[in-house]
Amino acid sequence: MDINHVVIVGRLTRDAELRYTNSGSAVANISLAINTRRRRDDQWVDEAHFFDAVVWGKTAESLSPYLTKGKQIGLEGELRQNRWEQDGQRRSKVEIFTRNIQLLGGRGDGPGAGGAGSDQSQPGGQSQPGGQGHYGGQGQPGGQGQPGGHEQSGGRGQPQEFEDDAIPF
């Protein structure tokens, strides 16, 4: 059995680009920057890595206003390789096909600042107000979603909240 599973936390490098396919399915393209720190000789050096991701369906529509440059998000999905031909040359690009997305801390200047109080995903990609900013259950383009993501629990059935500085990454 092969495994293709990605979990990543980073900051958006630009606002989400929401578009619609010819069949009417919503698709949002996002780009994340992931900062890592490693030791080079006697110094610590910061490095940035950039990853593109795709969000489909109702999740793309409802989250686009909140997916703004600088916003910290967590996402879970799988890697997919897109292939096409351009000017007679074969091209390809690896992207993260997003299944679940979590709004985390970030810039306080957008409508989704802080993540708390955002919509909570329900089965089939439906959402209800008052959740903790966790979205999930995206289906294939043009398809129905799967049951929503799983929320972290503090052991008593209550969502567990974290401050940005309490997360070690």
Instruction: Summarize pLDDT for 22-64 with one digit per residue, the tens.
Output: 999 999 999 999 999 988 889 999 999 999 999 999 999 999 9
- d(Cα 8, Cα 73) in Å, to the nearest integer? 8
Q: How far apart are CA 39 and CA 69, in angstroms?
A: 28
Tell me the pLDDT band of 106, cut-offs 50, 70 and 90. low
Determine how β-strand 26-40 pairs with β-strand 72-86: unpaired
167, two tokens: 């997360």
Burial (0-12, 13-18, 19+ Cβ within 10 Å), 124: middle
Asked whether the predicted pLDDT for residue 1 surpasses 60, the reply is: yes
Output Rg (C-alpha) for the chain, integer angstroms. 17
In the three-class reduction of DSSP (H, G, I as helix; E, B as strand; rest coil), residue 92 is classed as strand
Q: Quote the pTM value.
A: 0.62
pLDDT at 142: 38
Sequence-distant (≥ 6) Cβ neighbours of residue 12 within 8 angstroms: 30, 31, 32, 33, 67, 68, 69, 70, 71, 73
pLDDT in tens, 123-153: 333 333 333 455 555 443 333 333 333 333 3
Quick check: 69 pLDDT over 90?
yes
Q: What is the mean pLDDT of the chain?
A: 74
